[in-house]
Structure formats: structure tokens, C-alpha cells
Amino acid sequence: MILKTILIVEDDKDIHELLQKILKINGYITKSAYSGTEALLLHDRDVDLILLDLMLPGKSGEEIIGSLKKIKNVPVIVISALHDIDTKLDLFRLGADDYVTKPFHNEELLARIQVHLKHHSIFQEDIIQLDDIELNSKNYIVVCNGMDLGLSKLEFEILKLLMENPNQVVTKSTIFDTVWNTLDSADENTLNVHISKIRSKLKKAHPDKEYIQTVWSVGYKFKN
């Protein structure tokens, strides 16, 4: 069984400790942030769900929802004493997945967490997320640093194969066998052209990063 990690973003010490206790008793791993800035620093690929208070020192919960989703798109459950319906609707528009009003019932909160983790897990089967790249096999969309790359089908399949094997050399022959139909003609020049186009689109989305490394005479590697 893979344990799920929940990031608690709550500056009230008593509520924070209560959430930690509830989650740990029910088999979750927790990470703790007491401000919006700290939440942005702690959110990473290990986090599966976020419990987010709104009234935080520094950056508020509303301000950081979009940034948290950009780092890794996981369910965000807002926990707040605010009851205003307009506030709730605004939060959903910003990217929140659910809203629980303080004081909350422990069992209700746990049930909501379980539902969102289950739904997200099913959705993630069609998604590969590495670094700031999210590849969606259902709609053939790849987003890097918040930008849709607009890859062709072959470019998509090549990048998908590389992302499925991060930090491992994928040989050219493996790429040919996996991406190109055996009836189609493909040579090293064709592959190089497609790799060059993928790199160019990635560079446009994130100029300061190099995602694909060439291993000369062998193949390519997605650096993660």
C-alpha cells in the first residue's frame, strides 16, 4: 500500500496539530506549512493533497492556490471559517477542489479527503507529471511551465516514452519500435528532427531548462 502525503497549510497551532493527529491516526503522511510562502516551498511531487487555510500570514490562501496547482496539480481542500457563498465560488474559480467550513467534523473531512484522493488517482492514470511538465494521454496535451506545447502526435509519443523512463537512456531503436509503426519508414534524421522540434517547444515554454539530454550514438534521456 502506498501511503498518501497531505500538506497542511494552517497557521493556527491548535488546529494544525489537530489535523496532524487526525491524519496520522488514519495512515497519512503529513507535511506542515504555517504560511503561504512556506507552502509554496514545501509543495512538491510527494504531496498528494493539500488542506489550505485562507487566513495566512504573508500570502493568503486565495493568492497561492494557482501557484500550488502549477507546481503539482493535486486536490486542494480549503478549510475556513468563512461562510460567504461568493467567497466559495471565487475559490472554486481559482482552482480549489472542495471547501470545508470550520469548525469541521473529523469524519466528514476524512471522507472528503478519501473521495478526492480516489478521484485524483483515477485521473492520474492518464497523466504523467515530471518537474513542471504535465502530459495528458487522454487529450494529447502537454503543458510545460503553464504553456500548452501544441505537440504533433509523433512528438507527443516520443516525449511520452522519454517521460515514462525518466533519467534512463531510451535507445533510438526503442523509440523507432515504440513510436513508429513497423510499416512506416523512419531514420535517425527523422528522429533528430522530431527531437529538435520538441526541444524547441520546451525551450519556448521554459527558456532556462534543458529537459532532453542526447546520449551520443545511443539515444535520449529525460532529465528529471
How would residue 181 be classed by pLDDT, with cut points 50, 70 and 90?
A: low
Cross-strand pairs, 6: 30, 49
* CATH 3.40.50.2300 placement within the chain: 5-125
How would residue 184 be classed by pLDDT, with cut points 50, 70 and 90?
A: low
| Helix ranges, the chain (H) | 13-25, 36-42, 61-71, 85-94, 106-124, 153-163, 172-179, 188-205
pLDDT digits 0-9 by tens, 154-172? 999 999 999 988 888 999 9
Yes or no: say if 52 and 36 are a contact pair by the CB < 8 Å rule.
Answer: no
Exposed, middle or buried by CB within 10 Å (0-12, 13-18, 19+), for 7?
A: buried
pLDDT digits 0-9 by tens, 21-76? 999 999 999 999 999 999 999 998 789 999 999 889 888 888 899 889 888 888 99
Question: For the chain, what is the mean pLDDT?
Answer: 88
Residue 1 in this model has a pLDDT that exceeds 70:
no
* CATH 1.10.10.10 placement within the chain: 128-222
Yes or no: say if 99 and 53 are a contact pair by the CB < 8 Å rule.
Answer: no
Region 193-220: mean pLDDT is 94
Question: Strand 49-53 and strand 212-215: pairing?
Answer: unpaired
Residue 185 in this model has a pLDDT that exceeds 70:
no
Fold of 5-125: Rossmann fold (3.40.50)
> Looking at this protein, which amino acid is placed at residue 13?
K
Provide the grid cell at 25.
491516526
Q: What SS3 class is residue 180? A: coil
Residue 27 to residue 37: CA distance in whole angstroms: 27
How would residue 199 be classed by pLDDT, with cut points 50, 70 and 90?
A: very high
Cross-strand pairs, 144: 133, 147
Residue 122 in this model has a pLDDT that exceeds 60:
no
Q: What SS3 class is residue 124? A: helix
Residue 183 in this model has a pLDDT that exceeds 50:
no
What's residue 150's pLDDT? Answer: 94
* Angle, vertex CA 145, rays to CA 8 and CA 58, nearest 5: 40
Yes or no: say if 51 and 6 are a contact pair by the CB < 8 Å rule.
Answer: yes
What's residue 217's pLDDT? Answer: 87
Residue 182 in this model has a pLDDT that exceeds 60:
no
Residue 148 in this model has a pLDDT that exceeds 50:
yes
What percentage of the chain has pLDDT greater than the value 90?
A: 52
Instruction: With residue 5 as reference, give the H or E element that holds it.
Output: strand 5-9
What percentage of the chain has pLDDT greater than the value 70?
A: 94
The CATH number given to 128-222 is: 1.10.10.10
Provide the grid cell at 44.
512538491
What's residue 128's pLDDT? Answer: 83
pTM over 0.85: no
